[in-house]
Chain A
Amino acid sequence: MTPRQRRWIFLVAGAGLVAFYLWGLTGLPGFGNYPGPYGFAILRVAVAQTNATGVVSAINFEYRGFDTVGEEFILFVAAAGVATVLRRLRGERERSAAGEAAGRDVPPTSSAVRMVALLFTGPVVLAGWWLASHAQTNPSGGFQGGVLLATAFILIYLSGEFLAFKRLSPANLTDVVEAVGAGGFVAIGLSAVAMGLPYLKNFLPLGQVPGAVSSSGTIALISFFVGIEVAAAFILIVGELLDQTLLIRQGGR
């Protein structure tokens, strides 16, 4: 089947699929007329029950905390899967990072890029830490803070220092941090079970003021663990891809 035939068959079938999809979507109650009881019920009780003013984070880490455990494990498995798929195969050599950096003849990074990347690293780390620790008050959360923290490491690589990136994030340390993050989340849930409560029930003191940093019990703690796990997973993935690009060569070259 030639590509032109494939394209025409898809245009016909795709038009049919989109038409049925639209027919189904117009059966919904319409944009802006949300009828459902679940959302309004949670909005009524969330701040009173958890002392967290960020209702979306309260849903993520408390009301539907079990779904978040699954989501974190998807990221954990993806980092492990990338490391497995991109391992060194037979017939490839992996040069050492120091030897590779000495022998490369690439044009040096421009000073503007180096300066901007180095200037922004500190504020990015601060912003990521703030986001990961304020999940219960503002629109923030463990996941966003974690990816920002990983971005700080990428900025270090962009400022021309691949060796610094490798030294600051050795594979063993990043693996351990990621495992602590994922395991910490599960351990918080299990310690609720150890007290005779359902899995992942909020058992820490809720604090006085709704929305303070030290309020809302386990939500802040879980958000911190999720943040470091996500940061470590992204650093691992980027580190694996960088290794592939810079270090691993076909045998014989």
Chain B
Amino acid sequence: MIYLIFAYFCLSTVGISIMALTRKNPVHAVLWLLLLFLHIAVIYLFLNAEFLAMVQVIVYAGAILVMFLFTIFLIGAKELPKHKRYTSLFEGRLLVGLSLTATFIAVFSSAEAKYKGKYTIGYIQEVGNVKSVGMMLFNEYSLALLILGVILLIPMIAVVVLAWRRGDDTP
């Protein structure tokens, strides 16, 4: 049964990502992307990562996709000038991409987890997933977390500077 559910999520994830990237209308593409992120959140639940599944839904589906939709509405994607869909050198680029795909699949399907840490399934079930992630995040990676706060501050300033429309209409 679990194999059947996992097979459904594998196939639908691949299918949805192809559907998302082949839509002509960008709004449809973003909505397919929302479906893709929900499926990926369920795959995180397969891997006992409940906190990350919720972060995926809240941050990606809630924040980033809304940002995409606002951008599409701001630039008015319907009124874009028509141009060809794909780049020049289409076949060559597709060949490079397909060979990279074959390399990834060949490398990843022969990987094995040799290292075993102390956070076993039993330990995480006893302590709790959120608590064990938080202990690691706030003890061992506390400096990285502070730097992450600065990294999230910089885009805020950058967005204000870049999207500012000045009164004298200079670009």
Q: Are A and B co-members of a single complex?
A: no
